[in-house]
Amino acid sequence: MNLVFYFPLLLIVAALLASAIKVLREYERGVVFQLGRFWKVKGPGLIILVPVIQQMVRVDLRTIVMDVPSQDLISRDNVSVQVNAVVYFRVVDPQKAIINVEHFYEAISQLAQTTLRSVLGQHDLDEMLAEREKLNDDIRAILDAQTDAWGVKVANVEIKHVDINETMVRAIARQAEAERQRRAKVIHAEGEQQAAEKLVEAARILAADPRAIQLRYLQTLTEIAGEKSSTIVFPLPVGVAEALSRRLGNDDGD
């Protein structure tokens, strides 16, 4: 009879002891409230609370990896893109994280999404693809400044993917192909210009000494003779023709 009477009382005492004794791990802290007012931050280790009078909220101090959902935005050059990112942050002040904001994880997630759209919308598509490190630093700085009042430190932000639709992919491919063709034409034109300059310089050197022209003429004949040809037609040098004319003229005079 006595056992039946004391059994509910024993259950109540056990429940009170279970609610009064808490164990916090090394990476956890407990924000303790006493009659609704903030009392202190305790932990890690064994924590003893006054039942009913004191309540505790656990806070994890480890770095949290948050995946920011894909965001639709329009770049400064009017290109529709989808961008997602990942945010690394941790709680550095448990009191602020519990008292100053409701559900700090959800608050940071919403802030990260709006900041991602706001910052990337101010840049062109080329900047999103080529200057990703700078954009990561800009987004991190904004998030870190705004979450400081929540007792949260944003360590890093990484843009994972910048996705564009198939139509824009084809347009970018055509633009890249046109750019490659333009560069090829410019390089070809520069080569032609340099070749022309060298030819003019060679002509100037050959014109300075008639013997150089004769040597070049003989070299050309040698190259032609080395080819598989049965008939070779070549012009008579002007100097040789003049010498023959003078010789024939002298013979007629004699």
The pTM of the whole model exceeds 0.75: no
Look up residue 66 and give its amino acid: M
| Domain shared by 138 and 50, yes or no | no
| Domain shared by 105 and 158, yes or no | yes
| Domain shared by 79 and 110, yes or no | yes
As a whole number of angstroms, the distance between CA 74 and CA 71 comes to 10
Last residue of a domain, one of 40, 59, 78: 59
As a whole number of angstroms, the distance between CA 144 and CA 244 comes to 95
| Domain shared by 75 and 31, yes or no | no
- Flag whether 237 is in a domain: no
| Domain shared by 51 and 134, yes or no | no
The whole-number pLDDT of residue 250 equals 60
Q: Tell me the pairing of strands 28-34 and 152-164.
A: unpaired
| Domain shared by 33 and 91, yes or no | no
Last residue of a domain, one of 101, 132, 164: 164
- Flag whether 117 is in a domain: yes
- Flag whether 206 is in a domain: no
Residue 79 CB burial class (10 angstroms; 0-12, 13-18, ≥19):
middle
Length of the chain: 254
The whole-number pLDDT of residue 100 equals 94
- Dihedral sign (CA 187, 188, 194, 197): negative
| Domain shared by 69 and 155, yes or no | yes
The whole-number pLDDT of residue 185 equals 86
| Domain shared by 100 and 127, yes or no | yes
Dihedral class, residue 30 (left if φ above 0, else alpha if ψ from -120 to 50, else beta): beta
- Flag whether 106 is in a domain: yes
- Flag whether 118 is in a domain: yes
| Domain shared by 98 and 34, yes or no | no
As a whole number of angstroms, the distance between CA 70 and CA 137 comes to 19
| Domain shared by 92 and 145, yes or no | yes
| Domain shared by 28 and 70, yes or no | no
Q: How many domains does the chain have?
A: 2
As a whole number of angstroms, the distance between CA 240 and CA 254 comes to 21
CATH number of the domain that 145 lies in?
3.30.479.30
From residue 126, how far is each of 9, 116, 185, 197, 210 by CA, in Å? 72, 16, 24, 38, 59
- Flag whether 240 is in a domain: no
With CA atoms as reference, report the closest residue to 41 among 31, 27, 52, 53.
Answer: 31
The whole-number pLDDT of residue 243 equals 55
| Domain shared by 148 and 80, yes or no | yes
- Flag whether 212 is in a domain: no
Last residue of a domain, one of 164, 195, 213: 164
As a whole number of angstroms, the distance between CA 156 and CA 134 comes to 12
Q: What is the block-wise mean pLDDT of the chain (254 residues), using blocks of 10 residues?
A: 63 74 92 93 90 91 94 86 94 95 94 93 87 93 95 94 74 73 85 83 71 65 62 58 59 54
Neighbours of 84 (CB within 10 A): 16
As a whole number of angstroms, the distance between CA 48 and CA 20 comes to 5
Q: Residue 101 sits in which domain range?
A: 64-164
- Flag whether 179 is in a domain: no
